[in-house]
Structure 1
Amino acid sequence: MIVAFLNQKGGVGKTTLALNLAGELASRGKRVTVIDADPQGSALDWSQQRSREGLPRLFGVVGLARDTLHREAPELARDVDHVVIDGPPRVAALMRSALLAADLVLIPVQPSPLDGWASAEMLALLAEARIYRPDLLARFVLNRCGARTVLARETAEMLADHDPPVLATTIGQRIAFASAAQTGRLVCELDEAATAAREVAALVNEISRLRAGRAGT
C-alpha cells in the first residue's frame, strides 16, 4: 500500500506523521520505505540524525522529489509492504505525481477555519487525479489538536459530510513529537510520549480498517 501525506500548506505536520506512521508499521513487523518527496528533505535529515545518534534503522528513507514519482514509487512498493510518501508543499507537478502514485492520500490539517487549509487548489488536484485513479482513497487527518478544544470539535463536525471525509483518529498538539524528531527518534521510542504513541497506533489501526474495507468491496 502506498500512503501519501499531502497538503500544499506547509507546517501542518506531514513529515512528522509520515515518519511516525512508518515507525508504527515497522514495529508491527512490516517492511516500510519512506519517500521524501519534499525538496526541503526533512525526512532525509531525520534519517541522518538517527544514524548520527547510533540508533537502529527501522525503515528506509529515500529522496524522490521529482515528478516521476508515480512511476518510481510502485517499483519501490514491490519490495516492501508499505510505502509512505512525505509530500511537497506548493509544487503542483510533484503533488500530481504523488497523487497518481498513492493508494491512500492523507491530508493533515490543523483545527482552523475551513478556508485556512482546505484549499480549492488541493481539492482540484485530488479531483483531477481521480479521473485517472477513480478508486483513490483520501481522508483529512486532524493534527495538532488541543485537548478538548471547541475549535477541533467544530472542525471535525464541519468535515463530517465533507468529501474527502475526516478520519475519526485525531493527533494532539504534543511536544513529544518535536522532542523525538530532534534526536532522530519516534514517539514510540520515548517513554514520556505514551499518549502520542497511542494516537499514532490508533491512526495505523484506522488506516488498516480502511484498507480492509476497500479489499472487501
Structure 2
Amino acid sequence: MKIIAIVSQKGGTGKSTLACSLAVAAAEQGLKTSVIDIDLQGTTKKWYGRREAEDGPEVNALTGGQLEAAIPLLRKQGVQLVIIDTPGADTPGVTAAIQVADLCLVPARPSVADIEASAPTINAIHRLGKSFSYVLNQVPPGRSIRTMDAYRVLQLTGAVASTPLAMRVDHMDALATGQGVTERDPTSKASAEIRELLEWLLNKIEGKAHGQKQTRVA
C-alpha cells in the first residue's frame, strides 16, 4: 500500500480538488483507493456525499490522531493507494500525515506568494525525513513564462512533477458534482493532465525514472 499526503500550509492551492481527481483516476486504473480527509472543512468528505457513482474511491473523515491506527486497517482491507487531504495550516494532523506518507505532494500556484508560503511545509517534510514533490497547480492555460519561471525556481528546492495542472473549469465542475475530472470528461485536457500526474507520482514512489521532460501546459 502506498500513501500520498497532499500538504501545504497555504490555503487555496487546490489540495482537495487534487485529492478527489487523483483518487478517481487511480480507481479507474484498477487501484483500490481510499481518501482520508483530515481537514475540518471536510471538502473531500462533502464531495463524496455528492457522488452518484457507486464505484471508485471511498472517503473517510478522520482526525490526525486517528491516522496511525487507520493505516493498518486500510492495508488489511486490501487498499492499494491512500491519498490524504490536509488542512491549509500548521497542525499536528499535518505532521501526522507527513509521517505516514510515502510521498508528500505540495501544490503551489505559479506566484511568488505561493512559493514563499510553501517554505514551512518543506521544512517540516525535511525535518521528518520524507520524500516530496511540488506540483504546479492552477497555472495559466497555454505556454506561460510565469509557469516556466516558477518551475525553475521550485526545481532548486526539490522535485517538481513534470506535468503542471492548468486552471480549467473542469476541476471546479467535477468537484461540484461529486466527480473526478476523468469522469466528467474523459477526453479533456484536464483529464490528461491528471492521468499524467498520477503516473508521475506512482513512478516516483516506486523509484522509477519517469523521464526528464520539459514542463509544459497544453
TM-score range, shorter chain: 0.7 to 0.9
2:174–2:180 CA contact under 8 A, matched in 1 = yes
Structure 2 match to 1:177: 171
**Aligned with 1:173: secondary structure?**
coil
Which of 190, 200, 214 aligns to 2:194? It is: 200
Which of 151, 156, 161 aligns to 1:156? It is: 151
Deviation, 1:115, is 6.2
Structure 2 match to 1:166: 160
Q: Are 1:122 and 2:121 an aligned pair? A: yes
Structure 2 match to 1:106: 105
Aligned pairs, number: 206
In 2: Cα distance, 1:18 partner to 1:117 partner: 23
Q: Deviations over 1:5-61 (max 9, x none)?
A: 0001011000011111110110011101100011110001001011xxx33231110
Deviation, 1:75, is 3.3
Deviation, 1:214, is 6.0
TM-score w.r.t. structure 2 length?
0.87
1:68–1:97 CA contact under 8 A, matched in 2 = no
Q: Give unmatched runs, 5+ long, in structure 2.
A: 210-218
Moved more, 68-77 or 15-24: 68-77
In 1: Cα distance, 2:55 partner to 2:63 partner: 22
**Aligned with 1:172: secondary structure?**
coil
**Aligned with 2:10: secondary structure?**
coil
Structure 2 match to 1:143: 137
1:190 corresponds to which letter in structure 2? R
Structure 1 match to 2:9: 8
2:9–2:117 CA contact under 8 A, matched in 1 = no
Q: Are 1:77 and 2:75 an aligned pair? A: yes
1:34 corresponds to which letter in structure 2? V
Q: Which has the higher strand share?
A: 1
1:176–1:196 CA contact under 8 A, matched in 2 = yes
1:7–1:107 CA contact under 8 A, matched in 2 = yes
**Aligned with 2:4: secondary structure?**
strand
Q: Give unmatched runs, 5+ long, in structure 1.
A: 131-135
1:140–1:166 CA contact under 8 A, matched in 2 = yes
**Aligned with 1:165: secondary structure?**
coil
